[in-house]
Amino acid sequence: MPPKSTAQRRLAKEYQQLSKDRPEGILAGPVREDNLFVWECLLAGPPDTAYEYGVFRAVLTFPKDYPLAPPSMKFDPPLLHPNIYADGSVCISILHAPGNDPLQYERSEERWSPVQSVEKILLSVMSMLAEPNTESGANIDACKLWRHDRPAFERQVHQQVRRSLGL
């Protein structure tokens, strides 16, 4: 068996840590034992939000040069949220490449850094679900709905919560 890459060793260690000390509302791990670069995640909707009681599936895809570069994350099926593109891709600072933001929306310390971890990513996404950043939204329609018709936004999210539970 060939020696494991730095990324594989790091991902194995993070998976072991997450398995041992799992944050509440988060379940995550590799889809297959022979490929540490694709993880399935189940996230519980944060309490006291429109997402409460939902269980949402997402996929984390890690680049071969992880942890130097961030993974990408995509909800499947997509979620209605100001910081989630219509295709389900998550737009959050911690998943943006290191360095300065060319659009100057984010400080460099908010962006990806190799000291981040899968756990930190997932906790950040849970926080994002509870408190969207509508100043630099990924889904403009969701941003407009969030700002101008919160009851309609919450009705649509409640429908997604019910679907996530098979109801």
Could you list the active site residues? 91
For residues 80 and 96, give the distance between their C-alpha atoms in angstroms, rounded to a whole number: 20
Write out the H or E segment, with its range, that includes residue 37.
strand 35-44
For residues 35 and 13, give the distance between their C-alpha atoms in angstroms, rounded to a whole number: 14
Give SS3 for 22. coil
* Residue 87 CB contacts under 8 Å (≥ 6 apart), including other chains: 74, 78
DSSP letters along 91-116, please? --GGGSPSS--TTSSS-GGGS--TT-
Question: Which ranges in the chain belong to alpha helices (H)?
Answer: 6-20, 118-130, 140-148, 150-164
CB 70 within 8 A of CB 96: yes
